[in-house]
Structure 1
Amino acid sequence: MPAELEAAGITDPGLRAAYLACRELNAAHGRTYFLATRLLSPARRPAIHALYGFARYADDIVDDLGTAPLEVREAALDELGVALVGALDGAPSALPVITAVTDTVRRYGVDARLFAPFLTSMRMDLRVTEYATTAALDEYVYGSAAVIGLQVLPVLGTVGPGAEEPAEALGRAFQLTNFLRDVGEDLDRGRVYLPLDELGAFGVDRALLRWCRIRRVLDPRVRRALAHLVARTRGTYRRAEAGIALLDPESRDCVRCAFTLYGGILDEIVKADYDVLFRRVRVPQRRRLAVAAPALLRAVAARSRGTSVSVRSMIEQH
């Protein structure tokens, strides 16, 4: 990481520590994202870590403080939002994620207005446990994921206009993939992130999902509903794919890697016959290696002549 910070021109000790903290969050929680970030030039990586670190920190307030009273978690999110606004106005912050993400916003001209809908969606997670319609879920996903695609766009760089809509679509596709992968885990948290109107078209409701989870039996109606939602999510990936060519060439391998590996989760869901209520499907290590290794080799060769870094070890670590 020190080399990345130097490449990015980050020299202040406090700022360096803040970016390092964000990198640790990314490495610990975002295996696919972190691996893809390794394909970026060193100078761009700290900013991606900062944006991810802030998002992860907010998400942890919602989930990891799950045993705390609702009011405590709401207050923590409010304090995070106030701290961010203050930092963007020039006030110092003791939170590393705030320090780093504020610096990133200034360096790359990230639209600061994109953080408000994100925090709104995080607050929704505290009180909203299901979404009656696709439109209602879309509103949540805009704040929780689409704006993330827009936030990283200035860091990745573009070669022409029109990249915003695909960037939003890619953020949505990643989030919808998470929802499909984590149905069982979300049920245990008391949440359903699949639109009830679309589930209802197949005769599925929250009670049936819960019954299947408890009995460890996958009702055929649930399987058909999940197949429909997987197909719809693939359509979102198709809308996003056109945006990769609009990115700075230096950033395309990174996004293509994340696009392919995250989209591969849908393939694994299908291979598992939509059994996502009882286990969490993962992209096999061999596929991760096959997708990421060629791009990593190109990146390593370009940056480190004569490197002794093992590409396999880089992938397996993340």
Structure 2
Amino acid sequence: MTRRELDAAGITDPELRTAYARCRHLNARHGKTYFLATRLLPVVHRPAVHALYGFARWADDIVDDLDSTATTAERAEALLRLERHLSASLRDGSRGQPVVAALADTAARYAIEPRHFTDFLRSMRSDLEVSEYATYADLRGYMHGSAAVIGLQMLPVLGTVVPREEAEPHAAALGVAFQLTNFLRDVGEDLDRGRLYLPLDLLAAHGVDRDLLQWSRDTKTGDRRITSMLRTAAHLTRDVYRQAAPGIAMLAPVSRPCIRTAFVLYGTILDAIADDGYAVLHRRAVVPRRQRAAVACDGLVRLALARTRGAPAPARPRSTAPRLHGVEGPWSSWKETA
């Protein structure tokens, strides 16, 4: 399948083909939910998505690899080298590290604005320095680079049927919704890394603090205050999904099944968290394989319908990517709504 994707995308250089294959492997290994959805994209555009997500996973591994013995200073230096290498590749097409080579090639093909990658790496660096966020406004600044810009990077690849600036806020919101879902699912694992992404004002509104979370993690003991806090965070995350939803119809028709499938699959993670009693500090919520397959099958049907109707594939844009947008979530009050 990799060969078919690369041939369709017109990627003939052997070195680049190897680079894109590496990105595809990273996406398949780390992002199983989104990798499944990516299979619903037109074949010609899949390598670009693999490059974007492969690079994100590569940088994230530098920061978060628990099996590595690298110090914080060594990780920071590795990120700096990665940023310098990327800057050179974006500037003159120089090659080297395969994931960077694939990303630079994708950025050139789709005229993706380089500052999206700069903002992303800035957020990755903050993970080495910041272990918690006082308010959602503080967290949103981090998520702009770590999540919102991913949605903005994707828009030139997916294509839109409206002016791109109209779709941008929804694409940014979807990236944030996905990341907030991950924060909820992985709160225990993040604590093991010394990080807490749930804002401290959310915790305080429910009588929770970091020590209580750590106690619950260590003792595998539940607490109603923690459950109440996590339930509120899940409700508010769904509000961000609602902000993102109108953007799906703004995409090129043949791209919609992919993004809708990712939208639904990530939403089922929230369902799995709720069904498991918000026990994310003790175990990872898992969506049953049968349920994931059913969502993917629905996406296949939608894709077949789009193709039957003769919907054109998204064109490669000639202009640069648009301005960045922030995401204003309904997080001003942390009182539980259900």
2:319 alignment counterpart: none
Alpha-carbon shift at residue 295 of structure 1 (Å): 2.2
Are 1:58 and 2:68 an aligned pair?
no
> Do the aligned partners of residues 251 and 302 (structure 1) sit closer, same or farther apart at CA in structure 2, a change above 3 Å counting?
closer
| Equivalence for 2:139 | 137
Q: State how 1:231-242 maps to structure 2 within 5 Å.
A: 231-242=235-246
| Residues 186-227 of structure 1: per-residue CA shift (max 9 Å, x gap) | 111111110001110111110010111112111111011011
Q: How far apart, in 2, do the equivalents of 1:208 and 1:64 lie?
A: 26
Q: Give % identity.
A: 59
Counterparts of 1:217-236 in structure 2 under 5 Å? Answer: 217-236=221-240
Q: Secondary structure at the match of 1:43?
A: helix
1:285 Cα shift? 1.1
Aligned equivalents of 2:187 and 2:289: distance in 1?
Answer: 22
User: Of 208, 213, 217, which aligns to 2:212?
Assistant: 208
TM-score, with normalisation over the residues of structure 1? 0.93
CA RMSD, Structure 1 to Structure 2 (Å): 1.4
Match of 1:242, SS state, is helix
Contact 1:77-1:119 within 8 A present in 2 as well: yes
In 1, the alpha carbon distance for the partners of 2:176 and 2:120 equals 13
8 Å contact from structure 2 (residues 257, 302) kept in 1: no
Shift of 1:67: 2.5
Q: Do the aligned partners of 2:269 and 2:286 also contact (CA within 8 Å) in 1?
A: yes
Offset, 1:302: 8.8
Deviation at residue 300 of structure 1 after TM alignment:
7.3
Aligned residues of 1:39 and 1:253 also touching (Cα < 8 A): yes
- Deviation of 1:133 after TM superposition, in Å, equals 1.1
Q: CA shift at 1:301, angstroms?
A: 9.5
Could you state the TM-score of these two structures normalised by the residue count of structure 2?
Answer: 0.87
Deviation, 1:287, is 1.1
What secondary structure is seen at the aligned counterpart in 1 of 2:44?
coil
In the alignment, the residues of structure 1 paired with residue 97 and residue 224 of structure 2 have an alpha-carbon distance, to the nearest angstrom, of 48
Report 1:1-318 matches (<5 A): 1-64=2-65, 66-161=68-163, 162-296=166-300, 299=303
2:49, 2:55 → 1: CA distance?
Answer: 10
Instruction: For 2:215 and 2:278, locate their aligned partners in 1 and report how far apart those are by CA, in whole Å.
Output: 16
Please list every run of at least 4 consecutive aligned residues from structure 1 whose deviation after the TM superposition is greater than 6 angstroms: 300-303
Cα shift at 1:286? 1.6
Q: 1:166 to 1:302 in 2, by over 3 A?
A: closer
Alpha-carbon offset, residue 298 of structure 1: 5.7
Aligned length, in residue pairs: 303
